[in-house]
Amino acid sequence: MQINRTASAHWTGGLKDGKGLISTQSGALKDYPYGFASRFEGIPGTNPEELIGAAHAGCFTMALSLILGEAGFTAEHMETSAKVTLESVEGGFAITAIHLSLSGRIPGADEATFTELANKAKAGCPVSKALASVPITLDVKVV
């Protein structure tokens, strides 16, 4: 089975004064603004790192749901955030780290089991695999 998803970016202008629009095939994002100011200066709009974080948090949490089910558990709820670090390095900018923070309530699973299964999901989710060149860390909290 092969699944293809698409997204697009439109850009006009230079780096600092330019403006971009991001769209996704699903329509979840349609001409959503991004640019230098939203990436580096905290101005409203999105940026590539935020989108990578959203994709990673979503993929990881879905993968964990699968792994929990295989182990006989069902999440009452889970919440994952992904902090993507962009830093100036020699030769330009690079994503240097991703930190996943997970909290959840899994009836019947203790913290050690939840953490073990979460680490399995971190290693196996497709987005983690795609981002394997970046150090990915995880903390887990049972609520």
Distance CA 120, CA 117 (A): 5
Percentage of the chain with pLDDT > 90?
99
Sheet with 19-24: strands ordered across: 7-12, 19-24, 32-34
Which of 131, 129, 54, 55 is CA-nearest to residue 95?
131
HSE toward the beta carbon, residue 23, CA cutoff 13 A: 8
Q: What residue ranges define each of the domains in the chain, with the CATH number in brackets?
A: 5-39 (no CATH), 46-140 (3.30.300.20)
pLDDT in tens, 98-141: 999 999 999 999 999 999 999 999 999 999 999 999 999 999 99
pLDDT of 59: 98
